[in-house]
Each structure stands twice: as C-alpha cells, then as structure tokens.
Amino acid sequence: MSDQSRADIAVAKFLEHTDSEAASFFEACVHCGECAEACHFYLSTGDPKYTPTYKLQPMIRAYNRDKAPFSSLKKMIGLAPSKVTEEELLEWEPLVYDSCTMCARCTLVCPMGIDIAGTIRKMREGYAAAGMVPEGLQSAAEYVEKTSSPMGVTIKALKAQIAHQEKACGIPIEVDKQGADYMAIFSSMEIMGYPEVLGAYAKLFKKAGVSWTISSVAYEATNVGVQIGSAPLAKDILQRVVDAAEALEVKHVISPECGHAYGAIRWAGPNMMGRQFKFEVVHIIELLDKLRREGKIPAGKKDGRRMTLHDPCQIIRRGGLLKEPRSLLDDSCSDFIEMKGAGMASFCCGGGGGVSANPRAEELKTAAFGLKAEQLNSVENLETVVVPCANCRTVFEDGLDAYELDLEVIGLSELVAETLAED
C-alpha cells in the first residue's frame, strides 16, 4: 500500500462519514474556543493543539476540498484546500487517539450544538480503515479476535474467577442458564482486576429473587471496535453478545460498570445491528436502583466512611444515569459528599475512549488526571471515592499514586452489596 493510497483510504472514509449532520457541524463552527476551555487535555497542558475542533482539521479539510458547497468550482479555479497527505494524518493521529477520550464535555458546552466527540468517533473510522491505529489498541483488537476479550481473558480464566467468588460468597453463579431473567456481561478489567463484582452480583440478585447467568461465549462487554473507530469490528463484537443473549432467551442484558460498553450496546447497538434486540439492555446501576426502589434489595447499615462519587462520562454525561448512583449512595453511605464540579460537567478521568489502552498516551493521561485530583482535593477529610467504571478505576489507581493521594477506590455494585440488609 503506497503512502498516498493510505491517505486516500482515510479521506474516502472521512467523506463517507461526513453526512448531513457532520457537514452542518463543520459549517456551524464559529471558532469561539469554548471547547478548548472544556477539554481536560487542553486545560492540563495549555497547549492549543489540544483544542477539540483542531483535532478534526484533516476531516474538515477533506470536506472542504471534496464535499462542501461549491467545492468542485473551487478546485477548478484553484481555491480548494490541498489534499490531505499521509504525513499530515500521521501528525494528527496522536491528537485523535491520545488526546481525546470522547467524553463529550466539549460537546456539552458548544454554543452551536456541535457533537465534537461523536465526530471524532467518525474521524477514527478513517484512521482505522487506513491502518493508522496506536499499537496498544491494535493489540487489543487482535486479542478480541482470538478470545473475544481485549485483554485475552479466556472462558477458563473467567470460570476460575467465578469459582473463587462462589467460594467467597457461598452462592452459585450459573453459566449458560437458559431462560434467565438477566445475562450479565463484564469488562475484562472487572473479571481480572475486580472479580469481587461477580460475588456482589450473586449476593444482590439472590436477595432480589431474580435469575441471572453469564454466557460462556459472550461474557465480554468492552467494545474495542468503538474505541478504535472500526464499525465492522464493533458490530462483530456486539453480534456475539446479541446472538448469545437471544440463544439463551434471556429477558435483559446487563451492561456493567464500564462506560463505552454501555454506549456501544445500549445506544449504538440497535443501529449497528439494523434492528431492535429481542431483549432489553439495562445498566447495572439502573437495575440496582430499580430493585432498591421496589424493595427487593433493601439497604442495611450504612458505610460510615466519607465518600464521594466520580461521574464516568459515558454513563453519566452521555448515558443519562445521573440520579441513580447518587440515590444508591445516599442509601449506602452515611457521609456522601459531592466533589466540586460533579455531575453532568464533571471532568473525565483522562483514560476513556481507548486512551488507557494506549501506553504512548500515559504521560498525557496522567497530566489530565490532575484536574480530577483537584476535584478530589475539594472534599475535606475524604477517605473513599466510588468509581462505577472499571476502566476509570484503573486510571484512578494510577492517578492517585502519581498525585500522592491516599484514597480507597471502590465500585458501586460492591458497595451496595456490602451494605445490603441482612436476612
């Protein structure tokens, strides 16, 4: 593949994804700079190249040259922008993958309503099609093809973790149970890094009296195809879950404490599949809140530690689950306090959108976490931070070490299970 042909492939994909919505975004931008003041990468470095709309320049150039109004005429009289080259694409590639978590804080503040985060996702389609993907994400995609897990977690490893949790909580966890109410999927990070979530589910669902299961062929929730920007890969990953859930005839699929997994299956999923699912997708936080309101998982003695809540971008800002985690925390903790700037506009941890799987971005990710550290420091005498996203938890643990903050990081599902009323 020649250099120019790689550029041609990327540009062709840019143009394919420049639909009327994207075109209207490019035309609407007034270059006010509000998006820069919202971006954690810009704010933590002060470098103007991290301005969100600047990251879109190759795609905007391609649009202005080949698809914008009067672009053909402008080319005829020499007024069209020059062609996007591979050298330029490679120069921009770290901006597209290292300095954007697709957290949508920039989208939230844009006065023109431009979905910058969603357009970055479209731009990544061009990079993925041309084979210009960071090595860490490419390795994750290769693992997915071999094992279905971006970390290479096999069903044997999952069953070993299940066995440990069954022993710890004394409750069986069924695999491939036909006709269960719920089928749970998990991120690899949860399975290997925070396996206690399996025991938490078992405890909570036994108390609630609902049946649940885990599929032996579709246990992975993370959709690396969305992170890379490969629609075919994203659909293949989703297809595994859909096929397994429909084969087991479950009523619901539970999306775990993982940000992009939720967006991929709940919001983008039916569009990728081109049809509605035969089951309902529910986020674990949404489900626990429902079960709590129905009185099926009553709260017991509250945890007395001073806690705050991190708002994962894809679950809170883009997913809309703002009140549910707070309601659960109010029931589970006697000293819950919001950090400064919490809620819909809260800062990203700095590792979403595949950034945490990209070793090259480590220094930038750590710098961005500084803004989250400032939020945490706004809470006096803080002991524990509840982080309802496994990817965010790993970023937090690294970030807290880097900024020398002595805080415990826990998941929300585990906290709810630990403070469940006893029989």
What are the tens digits of pLDDT across the range 89-138? 999 999 999 999 999 999 999 999 999 999 999 999 999 999 999 999 99
Buried b (16+ CB within 10 A) or exposed e, 404-416: eeebebbbbbbbb
CATH 1.10.1060 fits domain 3-132: yes
**Residue 64 CB burial class (10 angstroms; 0-12, 13-18, ≥19):** middle
DSSP codes, 172-229:
---BS-TT-SEEE-B-HHHHHH-THHHHHHHHHHHHHT--EEB-SS--B---HHHHHT
Query: Dihedral of CA 331/332/335/340: which sign?
Result: negative
Task: Tell me how far apart the alpha carbons of residues 79 and 164 are, in angstroms, rounded to a whole number.
Answer: 67
The angle, 0 to 180 degrees and rounded to 10, between the axes of the packed helices 323-332 and 284-293 is 60
Q: Say yes or no: domain 136-291 is CATH 1.10.760.10.
A: no
Distance CA(329)–CA(325), nearest Å, equals 6
Rg (CA), the chain: 22
The tokens for 227 are 């992170």
pLDDT at 89: 97
Element (H, E) at 17: none
pLDDT at 145: 87
CATH topology for the 299-418 domain: Rossmann fold (3.40.50)
What does pTM read for this prediction? 0.94
Residue 4: per-residue pLDDT: 60
* pLDDT, tens digit (0-9, with 9 covering 90-100), for 235-246: 999 999 999 999
The domain limits of the chain are 3-132, 136-291, 299-418
SS3 350: coil
Is 136-291 the same fold as 3-132?
no
Report the pLDDT value the prediction gives residue 259, as an integer from 0 to 100: 85
Residues 6+ apart with CB under 8 A from 172: 166, 202
Which residue blocks in 46-110 are alpha helix, DSSP H? 57-66, 71-76, 86-97, 105-109
Asked if residue 313 lies in contact with residue 105, where contact means CB atoms within 8 angstroms, the answer is yes
CB-neighbour burial class of residue 295 (10 A; exposed 0-12, middle 13-18, buried 19+): exposed
Residue 285, CB-side half-sphere exposure with 13 Å CA sphere: 26
Task: Name the H helices within 98-194.
Answer: 105-109, 116-129, 135-147, 155-169, 188-193
Q: Which residues contact 118 (CB under 8 A, 6 or more apart)?
A: 102, 104, 107
Low-confidence ranges of the chain (pLDDT < 50): 1
Task: Compute the distance between CA of residue 355 and CA of residue 253 in angstroms, rounded to an integer.
Answer: 26
